[in-house]
Structure 1
Amino acid sequence: MAADEIKDTKREKILKIIENLSLFDDDLMTLVFDKNILATELLLNIILQRNDLKVIEAVAQREYKNPMAGGRSITIDIYAVDGDSKVYDVEVQCDPSGADVHRARFHSSMIDSKMLREKQKFKELHDSYVIFITKTDVIGGGLPMYHVERVFQETGRAFNDGSHIIYVNGGYIDDEDPVGRLMHDFRCIKSDDMFYKELARQVEYFKETEGGREIMCKAFKDLAEDLAEERAKERAKEKAKELARRLLARGKMTEEEIAEDTGLPLETVRGLAEL
């Protein structure tokens, strides 16, 4: 098969994948919501049951780096700030394991850690919302949404610390309910089938126009290249570990020398030595 034919075949496969994408898929969701104030306002107003929320910033795939050496960082699917400086972290999850309750706690803490400057008072913390939109009903109560708030257990009174966690059931079906219509749109693979024009316009552009499909194809190509690079690094790391194991078994080099020759961290070599 000629090179051009192979290229065309790959493109056709990518276009077929794009055709079946919905807003539950990272690649499309990221492009639709990145810097899209109107779509993000729509999303948050529906989930928070408001009609007056104004978003001033919306960024997809916003990274929050952990200041602790070796600490885990996070990448927020949709990061938003409203006119009252409240911060929103919206996570769109197909896999139920991605909506673990401990992840919600960790995301909330990471957002809080970036809010205050040195010597600012704790009461100056703005409200934060961590919102998980899950493809299935991970909580299992059959409800459209689940709100998590801290309370004093003895009195039932709200703690009112400004931290909010919400789970949205992506499997919820009710075309008479704004949340149901929103989740319907998230599941749609065709813009014509969607209720909300703020979402339909972007889905139509990225999936159904030549310019939008080119952007999607490039995103898939970049993703494939990144994955190939990651796999190559992982293979190289495994080869280095195997070499380190052999050198340790021979017992003729120190752990420090093995670490230097293989390029592995000394801690990794020491861990292999203990096996």
Structure 2
Amino acid sequence: MEGVEDKVYNIEIQRSDNCNHVKRVRYNASTITINKSEPGDEFEDVQDVIVIYISEFDMFGAGKTVYHVENVIRETGNLVNDGLMSVYVNTEVADDSLISDLMQCFLKTDFKDDKFPNVSRRMKELKHGE
């Protein structure tokens, strides 16, 4: 999905815990980069890729709903902007944050929540053809 500022967003939903999810994200981001590039493209023209990986389990086990993963230089703690950001979101941890509340709604068969009226409306349209 094309985003703003020449970024590409990849949203993936994973229900089962049967693979190396971090490497799966890396592989998919690499594939997107290759597919969006042409031979001879300048490296500064390579589009940024933001992967949003939604799972039903806390794959890092730290009790967070959201994990933002970026490259960091160990020795300095400085971020390296290589154009890839991975965001891991899960439905397992319910911490009363807005994103956690939204993820909990996705677990329901009948999605309706006053906090998320646009999402509720769209889900109703998709489920009931309205």
Between Structure 1 and Structure 2, which shows a larger proportion of helix residues? 1
In the alignment, is the contact (CA less than 8 A) between 1:147 and 1:164 conserved in 2? Answer: yes
CA distance in 1, matches of 2:83, 2:99: 23
User: Is 1:119 aligned to 2:40, yes or no?
Assistant: yes
Of the candidates 113, 121, 127, which is equivalent to residue 201 of structure 1? Answer: 121
Structure 2 unmatched ranges of 5 or more: none
Flag the structure with more relative contact order, 1 or 2, with Cα contacts below 8 A and sequence separation at least 6: 2
Q: Could you give the per-residue CA deviations for residues 113-167 of structure 1, whole angstroms, max 9, x where no partner exists? A: 1232232211111211111111121211101111211122222221211111111
Identity within the alignment, % = 32
- Return the letter of the residue paired with 2:94: I
For 1:192 and 1:93, the matched residues in 2 are separated by 22
* 8 A Cα contact 2:105 2:112, kept in partner: no
- On the 8 A contact 2:68/2:86 being kept in 1, the answer is yes
Which deviations, in whole Å up to 9, do the C-alpha atoms of 1:202-242 show, x marking residues without a partner? 222333x3x46xxxxxxxxxxxxxxxxxxxxxxxxxxxxxx
- Gaps spanning 5+ residues in structure 1: where? 1-79, 213-275
1:94 paired with 2:15, answer yes
Cα shift readout 1:78-106 (whole Å, capped 9, x = no counterpart): xx211211001111111122562110110
TM-score (norm: length of structure 2): 0.86
Pairing of 1:14-29 with structure 2 (within 5 A) = none
Matches within 5 A, 1:206-221: 206-207=126-127, 209=128, 211=129
Is the Cα–Cα contact under 8 Å of residues 54 and 90 in structure 2 kept in the other structure? yes
Larger radius of gyration: 1
Partner in structure 2 of residue 181 of structure 1 = 101
| TM-score where L is the length of structure 1 | 0.44
Residue equivalent to 2:112: 192
Q: Sort the Cα spacing of 1:99 and 1:187 in 2 relative to 1 into closer, same or farther, 3 A.
A: farther
**The residue matched to 1:104 in structure 2 has which SS?**
helix
